[in-house]
Each structure stands twice: as structure tokens, then as C-alpha cells.
Amino acid sequence: MQISERGVELIAKYEGCRLAAYKCPAGVWTIGYGHTAGVKEHDTLPSKDAAKRLLREDLEKYAAHVNKCIQTGKLTFYPTQNQFDALTSFCYNCGVGSLNKLVAGRSAAEVADKILAYNKGGGKVLQGLVKRREEERQLFLS
């Protein structure tokens, strides 16, 4: 499976776009819609379209991991497109390890409920993550 345009737009909405490199709260140089690989202090992107292309390239890795979870049986159900998009968004934001923990042995209904728990940064509940997890859950259930 591949992430749909709806999934890409959800991720772009929550990541936001910056055309000049900046340090994220974790101290990592970041550019575009959350891209970190090889980013240096004075890097820039020419346009939002360039940033969106970079995001789509980055998402291939995370979509591949969701597909791996399907193929290896870590995911106990075959996802709909909306479920796949929500899981790819979650994986992009939280990482492959968190996705593995989220889906391990859980039914679709259990995953939908558990996803809401991943709303903290530095041990504190962050409203941006609360909203993102709620929207991912809504997409997952639709």
C-alpha cells in the first residue's frame, strides 16, 4: 500500500512547512515538513512544492514500515486506506519503534483507542499532539 494524498495532507498540516533550516525542540536541524536527514544550519528549500516532494520521499520509508508490519503479521488486521494513512502519519511523527508498540497484537479497535495515548513530548501532554492523535484516530475509524 501507499499513503494517499489525504494522508500526505494530514501530515503536512501538523508538521507545518519551513523553507529555512531550524532546530526542532529536540535540537535536530529540520527543514520543510519535518525532514531531518542531512540538514545543516543554513539549508533552504526553494518552494513549498519542493518541501512537499521531500515529504513524499520521506514518507516512502514510513509507509514501507507499515507495509512490513502487515507482511510480518505485527499488524493483526489488513488496514483500509484510511487506517494505512493514519498509521503512516503516526509512524512519521512517533517513529517505527512506537508504531511497533502501538500495533503489537492489537485489533483495529484497540489500535484506534491506544493511539490517543501518544500525546506527550518530554513527559508533558502537548495540545498539538492531542489534536493530531485525535485526527489520526478519526481518519483510522472512517
For residue 37, give the 3-state DSSP assignment: coil
Residues marked as catalytic: 15
Backbone angles phi, psi at 42, to 5 degrees: -100, 15
Q: Which three cell numbers stand for residue 129?
A: 499532539
Q: Which of 98, 82, 95, 92 is nearest to 137 (CA)?
A: 82
DSSP per-residue string spanning 81-138:
HHHHHHHHHHHHHH-HHHHHHHHTT--HHHHHHHGGG--EETTEE-HHHHHHHHHHHH
For residue 140, give the 3-state DSSP assignment: helix
